[in-house]
Structure 1
Amino acid sequence: MALAVPGGDKAALSALGWQSVYRTLAEAPGLAVERVFPDKLGTTEGVDPRTRESKSPLSSFPVIAWSITFEEDFLSLPRTLLAAGVPPLAAERPSLPLVVAGGPVAFLNPAPIAPFVDCFWVGEADDRFLHFFDTLRGLVFDGADREAILDAVKDMDGVYAPGRSKTPVRRITSGGQGPLTDPAFSCFISGRAAFRDTLLLEVNRGCPYGCRFCAAGYIYRPPRHAELDELKRIVEMADPPKVGLVGTALTDWPELLPFLKWLHERKKKFSLSSMRADGITEELLVYLRERGIRTITLALEGASERLRRMMSKKLDPKDFLNAVRLCARYGVNHLKIYMIAGWPGETDEDYAELADFLAEIVRIRSEEPGGRKKQFMRITIGVSSLVPKPFTPFQWAPMLSEDALNARMKGLEKLAKPYKGVTLQHDDPFQARLQGLLARGGEELAEFILLAAEHGGWKKALKLWNGDPAAILDRERGQDEPFPWEVVDIGVRRDYLWKEWERAKAAKVSPGCSARGCGQCAGCGMEPQSGA
């Protein structure tokens, strides 16, 4: 089988999900897995897509498995199949190869690419995942045709075969409740990766805070932490020069500092993804600075306290300012602050509050000893446009127009401009709206994606497509309106998400997802899976 990862090898070698899948499959007897990293045109090195290991053409494999993380990578699927001489639409493929897809989009919203895909793996990779591929292997070796193969697997746990499976298909969770028993880690440590020569290591999966905009906090319930001894075992086995810790709530892990000290004792450099401001302690920050960490990343998310309540962020502004104070005091070179703009009902008053908050951040920086040095702490504010995602309370929300988002970004640039050493960067609202369209649409978007593949990209396709992006993006959805992504069941009840949407509009904070296990919180409906 071929395992295709969009985006080229530099990005692929810095992505964890597919590497975990690759390891699981490559270690299984009877499965031979070869990698292909198609570029933006669906080719490899300017020619028809071929695998990295044997340079075999993609069309020669009976199974082509895709690992897709981002909606913009939908374009790679038909482009690569076209470049390989394989019909991109499943209905036009009377025989093998079989096109299988997995990754976060398979259990977030598989609908836009369903017409290209024969079957999806919905969830994480566990024993049932291996059983699925072993079943495919047996059927292929027995000479079964495409129809017989799909009929044989369509009702297996975790398999969604569009037009064949009984829906909704329940998302597969590996290991169930308790610790994260299968933390993802890099198979390939490469100087060509975006994170050079780094073993990426998953510390936790999911998030206990339940921020209403964040799909990871809902599709990866319940949150799970890896065990310290298992992470140590992985590092000793891989023996990398550097370790990059990956997770949504790193500072919630009680073993974080002991693990960092253990890494240092073994002369391993390390880096951390963004941290919660209320998890930045003096002890942790001093240790990070002693080990040469120069950049700290904090997530503020909302411009005002009202917006943070709307998203149920659970962040005390005093904790955030204290984290800034510690960063300035101990000589952090670069503070990155993440924000999201484009919330339903946001006002100029919300951003006037942000202006005051930014002034306080700059004041704190200048008053601390580390902030007064000649090369004082740089501050970069990174702003993303809100993309309301499936299976979150914001799945009912409208998205701001491109003009409104552009105006907001210009206002933010003006807000940051007076301050020395403060830079504001923001995403492209057109790209954000495109992501929203691809994230929230149904199977009708396959035509749009195919137009983009055949006619030079997204902007050209928008002019040619007869669909209406506004119907998908610009209106608040009705309470009982069916969603195309509900062919999947992630385990969280729809009525719970609706209740959270109502609370969001009222700017009321709700409890997060309890680390004590399912049934110990307000009740999202998540239940342990049988057999997990």
Structure 2
Amino acid sequence: MRKLALRDEILLSIEKPARYIGNEVNAVMKSRDVDIRFAMCFPDVYEIGMSHLGIQILYDMFNKREDTWCERVYSPWTDLDAVMHKEHIPLFALESQDPIKDFDFLGITIQYEMCYTNILQILDLSGIPMMAVDRTWDDPIVIGGGPCAYNPEPLADFFDIFYIGEGEVVYDELLELFKKAKKEGWNRETFLRQASHIAGIYVPSLYKVSYHEDGTIAAFEPIYDDVPKTVEKQIVMDVTNASYPKTPVVPFIKCTQDRVVLEIQRGCIRGCRFCQAGMIYRPTRERDLAMLKEYAYAMLKSTGHEEISLSSLSSSDYSDLAGIVNFLIDEFEKTGVNISLPSLRIDAFSLDVMSKVQDIKKSSLTFAPEAGSQRLRNVINKGLTEEVILDGAGKAFDGGWNKVKLYFMLGLPTETEDDMKDIAHLADKIARRYYEIPKDQRNGKCQITVSTSFFVPKPFTPFQWVPMNNRDEFLGKAKIVNQEVKDQLNRKSIKYNWHEADVTVLEGILARGDRRLAPAILRAYEKGALYDAWGENFKYSRWSEAFDEFHLDPAFYTERERSYEEILPWDFIRIGVTKKFLWKEWERAQKEEVTKNCRAGCSGCGASVFGGGVCYEGKN
């Protein structure tokens, strides 16, 4: 029988103890007598981490190996964090309840910048030296992956390895190398140096960085001749036959995504210029319809979930969307299984489908115009016209909906005050479209929720060179939109929300940061920074004090324009999409020119032949 790592009195004193006891349905239990113990970590609370598809995929893939036992670990919430520090309780894995420090590998998925101090919490509670340079063979190899690994430099001092790309490709090669290293008695440094020879593996300690007097990077070079100068992302071209879990772990408590998740494709054809995911996950790769049908059956049966969701950056662009949606409706609607269809473009087909699977009186429709004016939507290459938005909203209202959510960004490149005010104008036009319906045919009062986030330039996007607004500029723009909403004819039907500016500024610093940020990240953690993505825990003063202590100017990372010639911290990574193409897109943005999506015509981004594959299955 397993012995829980936490005593009963501790479990009874904390919020949601089920976060920490493991033993869920489909959790994998193995003998400790395996060659490799791998702890897979999502550095956020259990409910968030259990909703992450990537970890479920790797958990299933690793545990199919007879020589490996992969277990899970998540960030303890603040209540348990305090207890564990006070009573010196080491962080443990859910399955075995063994200390993380006893594992061979600690793999951490890095989904967003605001979890960086949670990563340090994981290391701290595990008793693993924070700095990679201080670790020995007695410590786990700490690996980072996920979207933020595409600029790993702010975290370079804390990680032994970064895996660049999709985990299904070369992890087996890395694990086999580790077994060889143990068998032949290599030291840790030899293993890391050999690991750097594997495609997609980046070992930060094997590179040195020098800087110009103005703070920009002068050179980024490997310290040994056999270490590659560039690291190439790894992608699965045949996603239909790639590893995917038929028996995902079922959480004990309600999670953010408490449902079966069916990934229908990877990548996106749209080319929005602000979107990092749309660039780093190119080319688009679709899963076969027959495979999706098979896995839908298997996953619903193995989990007992009552909802299934289609996962994709843009579900409407899946070429056989009608086939999978109609299958799910025909097969599962009568059994009480709900069907969730995120990332749909609002057209006649989508509305027809949603009317069949949603309670129209309770549900709301989501549009993401991102910008209020057509001019600015052209700048960001959104590929969405006001006519399409109003037509979609009109069809929805005619179909019985009365609730609409609209998502925009403030602070986009070339933005003017008129662009900001057009956010309110577009919301009002949508409300007017609703009130054109005869009163006796309306479904109550129209409810439009407008939300604005603040724009953060991200690596590997056409906007990676542009200056970012500061806190006061962001808040000033939100004030303009708020006032304009109040001035609209249908203002009582419109609710306006905006994001926290301080959080956005920190995100911007970390997103385009370099290695010099690492000491400040550590100091912010020591000052109490934790769960920075959670508003009730975030205090920018901890970070500003840390930046001041290490003489770092946040504006250097956020408000400064970069030139094409400048060496960016992430330039050593090859993602397929070329730097030349990204710059060309930035130039087109300044001219307000729209670039066709991948299905309409190849734009020559570089992803079409990356890794020996073809873009959009050769249909360009």
User: Secondary structure of 1:484's partner?
Assistant: coil
Q: Any residues of structure 2 matched to 1:346-357 within 5 Å, and which? A: 346-357=415-426
2:457–2:508: 8 Å Cα contact kept in structure 1? yes
Partner of residue 206 from structure 1, selected from 267, 271, 276: 267
1:189–1:196: 8 Å Cα contact kept in structure 2? no
Residue identity in the other structure for 2:204: P
Q: Which residue number corresponds to residue 462 of structure 1?
A: 544
Q: CA deviation at 1:127?
A: 4.1
- Aligned counterparts of 1:276 and 1:188: Cα–Cα separation in 2: 31
- Aligned counterparts of 1:371 and 1:421: Cα–Cα separation in 2: 18
Q: Which residue number corresponds to residue 218 of structure 1?
A: 279
Partner of residue 606 from structure 2, selected from 515, 525, 529: 525
User: Secondary structure of 2:510's partner?
Assistant: helix
Q: CA deviation at 1:349?
A: 1.4
Q: Given the superposition, is the C-alpha separation of residues 190 and 327 from structure 1 closer, same or farther in structure 2, using an over 3 Å criterion? A: farther
Partner of residue 232 from structure 2, selected from 167, 170, 175: 170
Q: Which residue number corresponds to residue 27 of structure 1?
A: 64
User: Secondary structure of 2:308's partner?
Assistant: strand
5+ unaligned residues in a row in structure 1: which ranges? none
Q: Which residue number corresponds to residue 20 of structure 2?
A: none
2:505 is aligned with 1:433? yes
Q: Given the superposition, is the C-alpha separation of residues 356 and 366 from structure 1 closer, same or farther in structure 2, using an over 3 Å criterion? A: same
- Aligned counterparts of 1:356 and 1:28: Cα–Cα separation in 2: 57
Higher radius of gyration, 1 or 2:
2
1:304–1:350: 8 Å Cα contact kept in structure 2? yes
- Aligned counterparts of 1:467 and 1:14: Cα–Cα separation in 2: 36
Identity across aligned pairs (percent)? 30
- Aligned counterparts of 1:184 and 1:323: Cα–Cα separation in 2: 35
2:471 is aligned with 1:402? yes
Residues 89-147 of structure 1: per-residue CA shift (max 9 Å, x gap): 111213332111111222x2111111111011110123422221232234235543311
Q: Which residue number corresponds to residue 92 of structure 1?
A: 134
Q: CA deviation at 1:41?
A: 5.4
Q: Given the superposition, is the C-alpha separation of residues 12 and 213 from structure 1 closer, same or farther in structure 2, using an over 3 Å criterion? A: same
Q: CA deviation at 1:9?
A: 0.9
Q: Which residue number corresponds to residue 144 of structure 2?
A: 101
Q: CA deviation at 1:30?
A: 0.5
Q: Which residue number corresponds to residue 250 of structure 2?
A: 189
- Aligned counterparts of 1:17 and 1:310: Cα–Cα separation in 2: 32
Q: Any residues of structure 2 matched to 1:48-59 within 5 Å, and which? A: 48-59=90-101
- Aligned counterparts of 1:133 and 1:54: Cα–Cα separation in 2: 21
Q: CA deviation at 1:324?
A: 0.5
2:517 is aligned with 1:445? yes
Q: Any residues of structure 2 matched to 1:99-498 within 5 Å, and which? A: 99-106=142-149, 108-140=150-182, 142-164=184-206, 165-175=227-237, 181-182=241-242, 187-190=248-251, 192-195=253-256, 197-239=258-300, 240-264=305-329, 265-266=331-332, 267=335, 268-277=337-346, 280-281=347-348, 283-293=349-359, 294-368=363-437, 373=442, 375-417=444-486, 419-457=491-529, 459-465=541-547, 466-498=551-583
Q: CA deviation at 1:192?
A: 2.3
Q: CA deviation at 1:467?
A: 0.7
2:110–2:145: 8 Å Cα contact kept in structure 1? yes
5+ unaligned residues in a row in structure 2: which ranges? 1-37, 85-89, 207-226, 530-539, 615-620
Using the size of structure 2 for normalisation, the TM-score is: 0.80
After superposing the two structures, state which structure 1 stretch, 66-75 or 373-382, moved more: 373-382
User: Secondary structure of 2:495's partner?
Assistant: strand
Residue identity in the other structure for 2:72: R
User: Secondary structure of 2:606's partner?
Assistant: coil
Q: CA deviation at 1:337?
A: 1.3
User: Secondary structure of 1:492's partner?
Assistant: coil
2:344–2:350: 8 Å Cα contact kept in structure 1? no
Q: CA deviation at 1:303?
A: 1.5
Q: CA deviation at 1:212?
A: 0.5
After superposing the two structures, state which structure 1 stretch, 445-454 or 284-293, moved more: 284-293
Residues 162-201 of structure 1: per-residue CA shift (max 9 Å, x gap): 132423100001126xx65548668223362434540122
- Aligned counterparts of 2:52 and 2:320: Cα–Cα separation in 1: 24
1:206–1:222: 8 Å Cα contact kept in structure 2? yes
2:155–2:515: 8 Å Cα contact kept in structure 1? yes
Q: Given the superposition, is the C-alpha separation of residues 372 and 460 from structure 1 closer, same or farther in structure 2, using an over 3 Å criterion? A: farther
Q: Given the superposition, is the C-alpha separation of residues 196 and 346 from structure 1 closer, same or farther in structure 2, using an over 3 Å criterion? A: closer
Q: Which residue number corresponds to residue 220 of structure 2?
A: none
User: Secondary structure of 1:444's partner?
Assistant: helix
- Aligned counterparts of 1:399 and 1:42: Cα–Cα separation in 2: 36
User: Secondary structure of 1:335's partner?
Assistant: strand
- Aligned counterparts of 1:145 and 1:21: Cα–Cα separation in 2: 27
Q: CA deviation at 1:362?
A: 0.7
Q: CA deviation at 1:333?
A: 4.6
- Aligned counterparts of 2:428 and 2:439: Cα–Cα separation in 1: 18
- Aligned counterparts of 1:198 and 1:31: Cα–Cα separation in 2: 27
Q: CA deviation at 1:28?
A: 1.6
Using the size of structure 1 for normalisation, the TM-score is: 0.92
